[in-house]
Amino acid sequence: RPLVHGECQAQLMLQKSKEEEEARQRRDAKAKKERRKKYEIGWKVEMIPRNARPAAKLGHLSSALEGMCCLTLDEASNTVSVSPATEPATSVNLEYLSLALQVRTRGGRDPMFSLDPKLGGKAGSPDELHAQWQVKRFEPEWLA
């Protein structure tokens, strides 16, 4: 083992520490990416609600409704219509609104979705254990 000047030894130790930290971060990032893929976690463009199709069902064929839209009330005629929205806080997801109104009309309540702990059952492998952590619950059940 060669002799190294004290300050040089400190620099070598610091460099080794940085390399180990960078390697750990790469391993962690790779593991995180694999978990996100395996459990379908994360944001995807396909998940953005699109209002064009529900708006078309309401008779609105305007390309302006491909983005955000809101509901506007005409007090004179006491009617609601769909309009382009400029602020995210005023926008509405027409597909969700449609489902929520169906649930309210049929059952007199709001729709609900939750991830509940799964009770009982035994896991024979780590993958089976992960599959048993939670169960999706929709109310009313016909939403599932």
Q: List, for residues 115-124, the tens digit of each pLDDT value.
A: 888 776 565 5
> Residue ranges of the domains in the chain?
1-42, 44-109, 111-144
Residue 91 near residue 54, CB atoms below 8 Å? no
Q: List, for residues 84-104, the tens digit of each pLDDT value.
A: 888 889 889 888 888 899 999
**113 pLDDT higher than 70:** yes
At 75 the pLDDT is 95
Mean pLDDT on 40-63:
75
Closest by Cα among 136, 140, 57 to 106: 140
What is the model's pTM?
0.54
